[in-house]
Structure 1
C-alpha cells in the first residue's frame, strides 16, 4: 500500500453532535480501486466485503490479518450489500440487474430481477427488515454505460424503491424518485430513510404495520455533491455519504456535524467487535475510523 492513513476532520454544526467523536486520522485499508462501493461487515467472517465496480470484482478485507483479497471475480458489477440476520451476504448487482443472496457455502440465489415481468434497471443498495423482507433501490446507473455494468435500455418507467418479501413477491413501495440510492431503517423500523442522489435529498417515510410507506418528506438536502449510502447509529442519528465525507443528521432533519474526508465518499458501514468502527468507501479507498457511537445491529 502506498498510504497508511489520511487526515479526518470533525466539524460540529449542532451542540447535539458533541458526544460524537473519533480518530483524527482514517486508516487506509486499501487504495487500489477505481470506484469502491458497498462495504458490509460480517462478524462471523471478521471480514469487510466491498465492491470495485468498474473492475468487476468484490474484494474482502480480513480483520485478523489486514490482508485484502479477491472474494469474487467477475463480481456481477456488484454495488451495495448487507449481511442478513442469518449471516448471509445480500448484494445488488448491476451486471445481472438483480438482488442476490450468497450462502456460507457459496451458493448464490437470485432474490429479485424483475417487477411485473420487466427487468429491473440496476439495483443499487439494500436493507433487510426484521420480518425477512429485503428493500432495495433501483436507479439506472448500471445501465447508463458500460462503465459500471452493461449499457441497456430501461424496461421499467422510472427509478423506484422495491420490497422483496419472503414468499418471493416483489412490490414497488414508492415511485417518485429521480435517483434512489442508499437506504436504512430506524431502530424500531417505523421509519425508512432513502437518499435521492439526483435531487440531493434524504427523504423520510413512515412504515406501516403492513409494510406500506407513507409520508416521504425531504428530511435534508446535501450541501456538497449528493447523498449516497446511508446508515443509522444506536443513537438514531443518520449517517450519509457525500462528496466531502460523511454527514451526520438528526431524525428531525438537523445537520449535526460532518466527518470530513479528502475523497468523494460513496458508502459506509459500522463494524468491528463493538460496532464502533466506521468502514468507508471513498473513490479508490477503503477507510476505517473508530468512533464513539455504534451502528445498529
Structure 2
C-alpha cells in the first residue's frame, strides 16, 4: 500500500555548526531533503542495498515503512509491526528488528516469515528491545530499555520482569547472554570499524560509552562523549571511524578521539540515523515525524 500525502516540505539549507576544520571537509550538500513527513515518532532507519530502499519504523503507529529510492514513494512494509523500534541488516541481507510490543528481537526471512532470535532471559521476558547491530561473525547485539512497556504509546504497558536494563548478545548458536549490566537506559549502539570496540548510548545519563570487545564479552566502558543538547539516541560510524549521533537538536559528529567536530541542526528532535545510497554517502535521519537525507563527501562504515 502506497501512502498518499501532500508533498513534503521543500529542501532546506543545511544549518551547520563547524567546530573543527575536520568537519568542514566531510560536509557535502548545502541542503538537506525531506523524504517523508507523516509519522508520529519515526525511528530505526536501515538501508537495504538489494532493494534500493530505506526501511524505518513509525513506532506509535505500529508499522514499518519503506521509502523507495528509485520512485521516491513511501509505502507500508508491515503493519502491525509489533511496535518495532531499531532495525539493521545481517550479512545475508535479512532484516533484524527490535519488536518493542512483542518484547523480542526478530529476523525477517526471505519469504517474509519471521524468526524470533531473542525473547527471554532465564525464563523472564525481555523489557522492550530498542536498537540492534550485527557483528561480522553473525552475532546479534542489542539494547533492552523499558520504553515499550512503560505505557501503551510505543508498545504494551506491562511489568518489568528482568531486574535492570542491559546490553545483550545473541551468539551464532542462538545463546543469549548479558554483556553489560550497568546502564540506566541503554539505547543506540555501533561497532568500531575493526569491531574491537562497541559504542553504546546511555540516554538518561546523556553520554556515549566505549567498550573493548573481547570475544563475546565487553570490557571497560569509559565515557566516550557527553551530550550537550538534550540526550543521545541512535549512533552510527562512517568509514573513517567518526561517530555520528542523534541528539535533540540534530546530528553531532565526533572524531574517533572523542572531539565534537561539528553539528547538523534540524527543526525536530532526531531519533536515529544510518548511511546508505549507492555509494554509501547518503545520511538518512529520522527526526520525530520526518525522514531527512543529507549527501556527504564521506561514506558509512563498510559492511564487512
Question: Structure 2-normalised TM-score?
Answer: 0.96
Report what 1:141 is aligned to: 147
Task: Judge conservation of contact 1:202–1:220 (CA < 8 Å) in 2.
Answer: yes
CA distance in 1, matches of 2:13, 2:42: 19
CA distance in 2, matches of 1:93, 1:6: 33
Report what 1:52 is aligned to: 58
Task: Judge conservation of contact 1:181–1:194 (CA < 8 Å) in 2.
Answer: yes
Q: Secondary structure at the match of 2:116?
A: strand
CA distance in 1, matches of 2:125, 2:151: 17
Match of 2:284 among 271, 275, 279: 279
Structure 1 residue 167 corresponds to structure 2 residue 185: no
Task: Judge conservation of contact 1:134–1:165 (CA < 8 Å) in 2.
Answer: yes
Match of 1:35 among 41, 50, 59: 41
Q: Secondary structure at the match of 1:292?
A: coil
Report what 1:92 is aligned to: 98
Q: Secondary structure at the match of 1:16?
A: helix
Match of 1:261 among 263, 266, 277: 266
Larger deviation, residues 159-168 vs 9-18: 9-18
Where do 5+ consecutive residues of structure 2 fail to align?
A: 1-6
CA distance in 2, matches of 1:13, 1:196: 24
CA distance in 1, matches of 2:30, 2:121: 45
Match of 1:238 among 239, 243, 249: 243
CA distance in 1, matches of 2:28, 2:92: 30
Matches within 5 A, 1:48-197: 48-197=54-203
Q: Deviations over 1:59-118 (max 9, x none)?
A: 000001000000000111000000111010000011100000001210110000111111
Structure 1 residue 221 corresponds to structure 2 residue 226: yes
Q: Say what the alpha-carbon RMSD is for the aligned residues.
A: 0.9
Aligned residues: 296
CA distance in 1, matches of 2:46, 2:56: 7
Task: Judge conservation of contact 2:168–2:179 (CA < 8 Å) in 1.
Answer: yes
CA distance in 2, matches of 1:80, 1:122: 11
Report what 1:13 is aligned to: 19
Report what 1:292 is aligned to: 297
Q: Deviations over 1:20-46 (max 9, x none)?
A: 112222111110000000000000000
Q: Deviations over 1:204-259 (max 9, x none)?
A: 00011x22111100111100110000000001000000011111112221111111
Superposed displacement of residue 201, structure 1: 0.7
Superposed displacement of residue 260, structure 1: 1.1
Where do 5+ consecutive residues of structure 1 fail to align?
A: none
